[in-house]
Amino acid sequence: MQLLPETKLAPESTPMTEKIILDVGGMKCAGCVTAVEKQLKQHPGIISVCVNLATEVAVVEVEAGVADPDALAKGLTVTGFPTQTRTTNSKIAGETSARQDPAIRQRQEMVGAIGQLAIAGVLLLLSGIGHFGSTVFPIFNNIWFHCGLATVSLLIPGRPILIDGWRGWRRGAPNMNTLVSLGTLTAYTASLVALLFPQMGWECFFDEPVMMLGFILLGRTLEQQARGRAAAAFRQLLALQPQIARLIANPEAEKLIVGANIVEIPAEQVRIGEWLQVLPGDKIPVDGEVRFGQTTVDESMLTGEAVPVMKQAGDAVAAGTLNQSGAIAIQATRTGNDTTLAQIVALVEAAQTRKAPVQKLADTVSGYFTYGVLTASLVTFLFWYVFGTHIWPEVTVSSGMEMMSHSAQHPAPNTHYSSLLISLKLAISLMVVACPCALGLATPTAILVGTGLGAERGLLIKGGDVLERVHQLDTVVFDKTGTLTTGHPTVTDYLVFAEDGEENSPQSLLQLAAAVESGTYHPLARAIHQAAQRQKLSIPHAVDFHTEPGLGVSAVVEGKKVLLGNWDWLNNHGIAISETAQQQGLKLAVEGKTVIGVAVDGTLTGLIAVSDTLRPDAKATVDKLRQMGLRVILLSGDRLEAASAIAGQLGLDSSDVMAGILPAKKAEAIQFLQNGESVSIPKSVVAMVGDGINDAPALSQADVGIALNSGTDVAMETAEIILMRDCLSDVVQSILLSRATFNKIRQNLFWAFAYNTIGIPLAAGIFLPSWGFVLSPSSAAALMAFSSVSVVTNSVLLRRFAHLP
């Protein structure tokens, strides 16, 4: 496979920026999200704003030193959205005040919501008794009693809704509470006028405000519970943050583990280099290295792998993992915000605020939705009042309005209702049934569940935009060394071309190679060093090292210029390669081995062959991806023969191999696929799977970068999906989870749009003339509440995702 001519990507220049995280309260629907974003963007120095309704978090990117976080929070609080700034330290420290801990605040809000719901439920019950218990309890059928119930409903359980609705109207950003407030107040006012002025002949429907508020509060309570379940995985991740560390005050003492020199300190105060005691059952407080003792550690919170891992002196341990069987002493290597767990927490939370393009569209629609609903309600009222009740006079007969009102106090059959009241009820129903809440919650709740579920199982997905791109993937490119293979190559063959004495024996060839490779760090270098160590060979001193990534290395060993590398590297230095050497090298390459030429003082003296075995799950992973309809390509810096041999073991043909690609050219290879390999082969949406170190440019260039061995900082920065386990099959699982999450987003958005598409015409009375059917305001409120609950519940069902082990 040939690459396009070399193209240089223009470097991106970005100003110095910083991110401010705000916990925003009081958001009820997507209209509130738009209002918050609009308010924040008014401040100078703001570059971008992203607000998440499900997690109630706003992430503001600003020019460094320009915006004051407290001023942003204060501005939102003044406009009706109680806001506080969040510092990473407070999040990692796990402060327990209700103001700092969203989980505690959510529990308090849940208790308040249940209390309001209980009051509304009692009022709803008393209101309903009026229809069934009039003979036993005549007072329940008294119109003044129902007036009192409606008044109490508005003043107690409905008060927060009315206040928030008024605030939204006042700040020029009406929301769902504004619509509900207008509907309930209109129904209450019209009924009150009918009660005080009976000569007007109007109908009283005091039950409607009671029923509307009852259904809405019920829906919101269920929705809040579902949102709590959706956020459960992330809260569990936060709960893993260790709070206490046992500092060993005198690490030079003999008794490091059970000695008396132990001081308990907050985990965030541990400094790099300090020694800590970790007892069985303790969470490891920071990233560190075991210095004394041995134990088994449960790392499932990071990797999703349930089998405990043995740890002994020299092994690395991660913060938040659970020490199981033995007492150990560790030395801190990364603390506070730099620990792997802290980075994962930050990454998962950031992922929940990155919007998919489809969500941006939904938010844009929702931002104008409330204004559209108010306009549609006004048009509905005018149509029925001016035209509808005159064109279809039969709709004013009570029998035709049976579905419309359950709160008329037993009117006589065939009673005629005022055109004004009929038009008003239809307008109220439309105002209440139209729900931007479902639209606003459709995407963030699915992302909240999907990213949290992935984090539980060692699959870190960086946001909604990644989910959407994964859904569009048609090509997956695998780096060979360290990704498809184990990354632990071994030396298999030595070929010596000159036999003039001991100095050209296989042992001397290996000694020279090990001396040159001592100046570099690479899997092949490790393989050569390990081969020399197994044979207990001494390694000569070398100087003047030079490395060319993907080609080879050179050094001066005992006064001789020694070169190690591939044919291109040797040719670049004028080394003649005999026909015999080429044939021998080709034979080894066809066997899937990497061939390294060794030249001394300008003469090729031998070849060293290194073999890196495939991962056990490589073939199954490739097969599964191809069954999913994805094209799989192998990308390698090896010769075509060696790469083709590995491809053959994986069931790939020659057209799926890109060989001889230097590390610096891998990003261009990805770009080549993205641009279309030829006129006949269209552009591809490409995922790149690599180890996150030397593959960083390619991971960044790909539409979706997937990194294994994600403990590295480079992987955290460049890849969009990070696999915490060193397990190739997780590539399949991450793509399946991404697809499942995005499918939930599409289902939610379909339901949200379909609900409004069906509900609004029903509420507007489209079937009233022909079938005498229309939604009453209370029925509209129930349907509206159901729409939000159904969207959130559908997202929670993602936790039943069965493809993950």
Residues annotated as catalytic are: 479
Tell me the C-alpha distance between 706 and 692, whole Å: 8
Annotate 603-651 with DSSP letters as a single string.
EEEEEEEEE-PBPTTHHHHHHHHHHTT-EEEEE-SS-HHHHHHHHHHHT
Tell me the C-alpha distance between 243 and 336, whole Å: 11
Q: Does residue 93 contact residue 268 with C-beta atoms inside 8 Å?
A: yes
Annotate 556-567 with DSSP letters as a single string.
EETTEEEEEE-H
Tell me the C-alpha distance between 676 and 669, whole Å: 11
Bridge partners for 317 per DSSP:
288
| Phi, psi (degrees; rounded to nearest 5) at 391 | -70, -40
3-state helix, strand, coil in the chain (%, to 5): 50, 15, 30
Tell me the C-alpha distance between 63 and 705, whole Å: 28
Tell me the C-alpha distance between 91 and 84, whole Å: 13
50 vs 20, 47, 62, CA distance in Å?
A: 11, 10, 12
**What are the CB-based long-range contacts (under 8 Å, 24+) for 766-770?**
768/388, 768/392, 768/395, 768/400, 768/426, 769/388, 769/391, 769/392, 769/394, 769/395
Tell me the C-alpha distance between 382 and 380, whole Å: 6
Tell me the C-alpha distance between 198 and 200, whole Å: 5
Bridge partners for 563 per DSSP:
554, 599
Tally of residues, the chain: 805
Tell me the C-alpha distance between 751 and 788, whole Å: 10
